[in-house]
Amino acid sequence: MSIQLRTLTPRISLRSISTKSKLHQIQPPSNSASAPSATPSPPNIQYGPLSAAQKAYLDRVIRVDQAGELGADYIYMGQHFVLSRTSPHLKPIIKHMWEQEVHHHSTFNNLQTQRRVRPSILTPLWKVGAVAMGVGTALISKEAAMACTVAVETVIGSHYNQQLRVLMNSYNVDLYHKETGEKLTQDEVLKLDKDERVSEELKKMKEIISQFRDDELEHLDTAIEHDAEKAVPYILLTEGIKLICRGAIWTAERV
């Protein structure tokens, strides 16, 4: 029976990775001087443009995450093809995780199109490699397939956390009064809620990455619950797959 290829996306979740990223809240000063004018509400705020470096980083995030989700999609496709026959009791579990990866992959495909981000030129290689990883680990054993999930989701979860830290700490832009065009003072900015200081585009991006990160961590926990650590040799298998995933991420960011 032939396997229909679809996009793969590597996902990673570690138990050591906190399910919720640690956001640094900016607290307004307790004794701030009175502002010269009333602080505008969010609908009356104009967000300044991103810098060239910020735009380049966002493009890199979308390109590598699209490649990663494509890889995860194909890995689960390969595992589902094998395990649905050799371990039918795992079929609904693999299918559920696969469907989430398909959604992740589709989301980044859309973002890639909307922002006109160049995809990784090694996309065909990611597809073949991901299917091979999914089929290969599932053929070894169901435990090896779950160990593969642990390794992939660990790397991806960590990678998503790193992206969230950058987006939360390095994406401040100037804010302006929409009606007057005047730049908000520091006091006015501090009176705004943290979410109000960030454009809808960036808020949406952070929400997507945060949700997908949590999904990946859920996959990791599911794999542990289904005997991933009983795979032989577990350490060699998971560390080898982690190394491959990190290499793929590094390459996809640049090629």
Binding site listing for Fe cation = 69, 101, 104, 153, 216, 219
Residue 157 β-bridge partners: none
Alpha helices in the chain (DSSP H): 52-86, 91-114, 123-140, 142-169, 186-191, 200-225, 234-254
- Cα–Cα separations (whole angstroms), residue 71 to 59, 190, 230, 235, 244: 18, 41, 24, 22, 12
Amino acid symbol at 100: Q
Contacts of 191 (CB under 8 A, 6+ apart): 28, 32, 35, 39
Distance CA(54)–CA(123), nearest Å, equals 24
Burial of 135 (0-12, 13-18, 19+ CB in 10 A): buried
Chain centroid to CA 30: how far? Answer: 36
Q: Tell me if residue 170 falls in helix, strand or coil.
A: coil
> Which of 77, 199, 58, 57 lies closest to 126 in space, CA to CA?
77
Residue 177 β-bridge partners: 45
Which residues fall in the annotated binding site? 69, 101, 104, 153, 216, 219
Residue labelled with tokens 């999930």: 149
Rg over CA atoms, the chain: 21
